[in-house]
Structure 1
Amino acid sequence: MQGSRFAFGPFVLDPAAGTLLRNDDPVAVGHRGVKLLAALVARPGEILGKAELMDAAWPGRIVEEGNLTVQIAQLRKLLGPATDGGEWISTVPRVGYRFVGAVIQLSGVKRKALALPDKPSISVLPFLNISNDPEQESFADGLTEDLVTDLSRIPGLFVIARNSAFAYKGKAMDVREIAEELGVRYLLQGSARRVEARVRINAQLVDAASGDHLWAERFDRSLDDIFAVQDEVTAKIVEALLGRLRAPPPRNRPKNLEAYDLCVRARRLMDDTRQAAREAHLMLTRAISLDPDYAEAYRWLAMNHWMGEVHSAGPTQPTRSLGLELARKAVAIDPNDAGCRWVLAYLLAYERSFAEADAGFAKAIELDPNEADTFAALSDITVLAGRVGEGLEHIAKAFRLNPFPASWYYLALGQAQYAAGQYQAAVETLRSDETYRTSSRRFLAASLAQLGRLDEARAEVELFLVANPRFSIRHWAATEPFREARTLAHFIDGYRKAGLPE
């Protein structure tokens, strides 16, 4: 996407890409740090209050002020002294912070257009919430995500993942520009309004190449009919793109709309922070209590259990067992959901039930060849199985379906590049990640060590161990689903050279 960049001293900050360069070399700054720095440099010389800065870095979240203090301290350390010997970021006691350096705003750089697939290609843009109630935002988001899922299960379509669709939320852009960046020809746009027991939905299918509207319709229905409306929209789009009217395959739908809203909100929270994991856990547990037969809630709760414990030392056995139990429950409720299938397959691989895991991934791809997360997760498992070339192909497929993905895609790509001996590429991947995660530093450190850049590697190890103090190479090797000795030895060699503890 296009966007402003900011130059100050030897630095160039690109908030849209999530990158900070010092004399054209990447600086390892985290996602929150990028958000804070972007807010500060966009208004140089102005005092920004602590509440405003916390909202910039943790939108919609309630966080302790100490988190802001830690992030500012880390930014100061990364930036070093300003050109006059002082600090780039000054503290205004009891008020907030101010960026004191001279800033030059640069024009944005347009992303390279992606080639169109050899089949009808579409992205569902985030539906607008046109009600006066901001609480209904999750309803509009859920509608968008469900339409993405419904369309992606239709054979013959190429469908962009929801992460990338939501990269355009709240942004006013030309449909041609969006289509070029995502590499699709068609865009579905719409709006939703939920008022008491009624829902009003407007939807239109646009041919971005010509600007023509291929189909548009307005729905005014009972809220109880919301999923029937989704099915109808999907069928109309399929008819317009493939020339035949076809209803989407049946899905497990929630019976309780509060559970549905909770699940949508929980998915938004599942990032790299423990606080977010706890909040998501509470929401998903509540969703299941409201709707015990809602497969997707079990799926996300299973993954949340896994992600909540997977740092450097690997998940604890009780958490693994519970995550696996929840994933099996999700598949039992809805065996035709590709998301439930790949989550179960992923957890089975970590249990070393490799045959069952491989079959699960194959079934997930059969059910939904557009599910980008399946390919990203499969890349991780395939690389650790020693099939590195396949792993690189899987992660490339994941990025094509999801050009603006979640941060763990970059971790999977960096891991695959390290395994392939592409150390410099791995360094660039792991340092340019716009949602940089502390857990990826171990691969970054190993890649730097293999390049002989030991000082940089040890600096990354130091930062990694701050967040992962229990890490040991021995424990990590015992918990990862390696299938052959050579790949394991390659990772251990890099870790040892970098100075990670045995």
Structure 2
Amino acid sequence: MRYLFDDFVLDPDRRQLRRAGDPIELEPQVFDLLVFLVRTRDRVASRDDLLEAVWHGRIVSESTLSSRINAARTAIGDNGTTQRLIRTLPRKGVRFVGDVREEEERKPKAELEPVSRQAAFKDSVVEVPSIAVLPFANMSGDQEDDYFADGMAEEIITGLAQCSGLTVVARNSSFTFRGRSVDVRQIGNELGASYVLEGSVRRSDKRLRITAQLIDARSGGHLWADRFDGDLSDVFELQDRITQSVVAVIEPKLLFTEASRARRRPTQSLDAYNLYLRALSLINEYTPEATAAALGCLDKALELDATYAQAMAASACYRGLSHFQGWTERSDEPRPRGVQLAWDAIALAPNDPHVLWMAAFAIWVLAKDGPRSQDLFRRSVSINPNSEIATTLAGWVEAANGNPATGRELIEKSRRLNPTPPTPWVALAGMAFTYIVEGKYTEAVQWAEQAVAQNRRFAFALRSLAVALVKTGGMDRARLIVNEILKTEPNATVAGLPDRMPYVNEPVLQTYIETLRQAGLPK
């Protein structure tokens, strides 16, 4: 069943929202919220209704709920002032009030009854995500450009092979579809691929244009597309840049899509991998409740598979995040447990870049071991130089170890790799931190303000902004920021700051302690 309103088409089966034929990307919770409101448009949906339908009964903050409703409005050209399609009724709830036409989609028989060696796309079974990179089409009309198109696809295959938790179909298999006009879902069935990446290369005089798009092989829906232009004079440099950009964007897209898919399955069907993905989806909410729920999923995953290195590393990382944010009471238990999980994960998967950076974060925050975390981040980035989040955090740790210029270079690289990451505030706060380490507080204020604007619950960004404001004479504003810190971390004190902070060199730590004390953080 599809729902048509204005010039939008909402397709729950394919999890797509389109406007005039163009896809609109939505976060999973926003999509689920919109579908629920459209399906129940004959009545007002209460807050409890929304929590049950979208968050499966978990309690979330009013700000989280409001942000998802506002995002749904924005996606369909509505807003909180006019409320033309989604109307809020005070003290009652929310209702979709637009005119909707329902349409049954007629599917060809072949689509209704697929025959495949991958009878696999069943919700009861979760498979490791796999991707097939098809040969790029040469749109130049010159057969001499075939080598470049093939080389582009081969470089991307090599780059994707570095992504942990992702299987890449071999070149010899995916290249059998060269020149064939085949439905992408059939390609996915034949190759056993969850996703298909296809693209084209066009040369005009001394310019090159390369396009690429990522497609869900199960639904045929487009997940991502981009275009890259460059000069033919340095074709290999351009090829490297495109490969880095494609890999950097695809890796979080794949994790995000798989996590949201797992989240919609009934809990009783989840195995260790499902639980791991559910934890990844929960952590995006960035709340103490969601983080605790994610850790619960990871604990269950490790009960099913005690050697699951990725779940170990994620558990260690999220324990570090809870401590980093002030979401846990001071206790000796979480820190040793998190550090042990980190080292166990590294022992089991010493060359997995995803395991390395997550474990390194835990060791930086919980063990306060700057040199070891620095080494682990360097190893992770050397194995997969295209991971935006690993590169960002590697920059944080370089600055914490007294190398702010190197740290800033890494964070700037991460922002080039993926200009629209899932957690942009991490890079922005990292930039502020590098300037604080250098004593350049005016620049630190500018970056910290951007980070706080992206996420007002990010404790380190709030702390850094308060520090930089005190140093630049903005004491009144710094006191207001300290009040926000206390909302995020009610038990925050000056005395507890050394325990809460990750490893930073002593002069920088003393700068945070002294300035936050001046700004009114309780002793």
TM-score bracket for this pair, using the shorter chain length: 0.5 to 0.7
Structure 2 match to 1:338: 353
Counterpart among 471, 495, 498 of residue 474 in structure 1: 495
Give the AA of the match of 1:495. L
CA contact (8 A) 1:191 1:201 kept: no
Matches within 5 A, 1:281-360: 281-312=295-326, 316-350=331-365, 351-360=367-376
Distance 1:54 1:379, change over 3 A: farther
Counterpart among 496, 508, 521 of residue 487 in structure 1: 508
SS at match of 1:206: strand
CA contact (8 A) 1:361 1:374 kept: yes
Distance 1:442 1:357, change over 3 A: closer
Give the AA of the match of 1:266. A
Give the AA of the match of 1:384. A
CA contact (8 A) 2:283 2:294 kept: yes
Counterpart among 277, 291, 304 of residue 277 in structure 1: 291
CA contact (8 A) 2:463 2:485 kept: yes
Distance 1:161 1:93, change over 3 A: farther
CA contact (8 A) 2:279 2:293 kept: yes
Tell me how far 1:52 sits from its aligned partner: 9.3
Counterpart among 199, 202, 206 of residue 199 in structure 2: 206
Structure 2 match to 1:413: 431
Structure 2 CA distance, aligned partners of 1:425 and 1:442?
14
Is 1:379 aligned to 2:395, yes or no? Answer: yes
Which protein has the larger Cα radius of gyration, Structure 1 or Structure 2?
2
Distance 1:318 1:91, change over 3 A: same
Deviations 1:119-153 (A, max 9, x none): xxxxxxxxxxx9997778x769x4479xxxxx9x9
Identity of aligned residues (%): 18
Matches within 5 A, 1:174-185: none
SS at match of 1:474: coil
Give the AA of the match of 2:434. A
SS at match of 1:473: coil
Q: Which has the higher contact order (CA 8 A, sep 6+)?
A: 1
Structure 2 match to 1:432: 453
Structure 2 CA distance, aligned partners of 1:397 and 1:358?
17
Matches within 5 A, 1:80-229: 92-96=90-94, 142-143=129-130, 201=194, 203-207=196-200, 210=209
Structure 2 CA distance, aligned partners of 1:214 and 1:94?
43
Counterpart among 43, 57, 60 of residue 62 in structure 1: 57
Give the AA of the match of 2:381. I
Is 1:397 aligned to 2:418, yes or no? Answer: no
* TM-score when normalising by structure 2: 0.54
Is 1:457 aligned to 2:470, yes or no? Answer: no
SS at match of 1:310: helix
Deviations 1:153-210 (A, max 9, x none): 9899667999xxxxxxxxxxxxxxxxxxxxxxxxxx9669999xx9664624213765
Tell me how far 1:262 sits from its aligned partner: 1.9
Tell me how far 1:468 sits from its aligned partner: 0.9
Counterpart among 371, 377, 392 of residue 361 in structure 1: 377
CA contact (8 A) 1:161 1:371 kept: no
Tell me how far 1:296 sits from its aligned partner: 0.9
* TM-score when normalising by structure 1: 0.56
CA contact (8 A) 1:446 1:497 kept: no
Deviations 1:102-128 (A, max 9, x none): xxxxxxxxxxxxxxxxxxxxxxxxxxx
Tell me how far 1:332 sits from its aligned partner: 1.5
RMSD: 5.2
Deviations 1:334-355 (A, max 9, x none): 1110122223333333424444
CA contact (8 A) 1:54 1:68 kept: no
Tell me how far 1:49 sits from its aligned partner: 3.7
Deviations 1:273-330 (A, max 9, x none): 1221222122222222222322111111111222233324886432111111111121
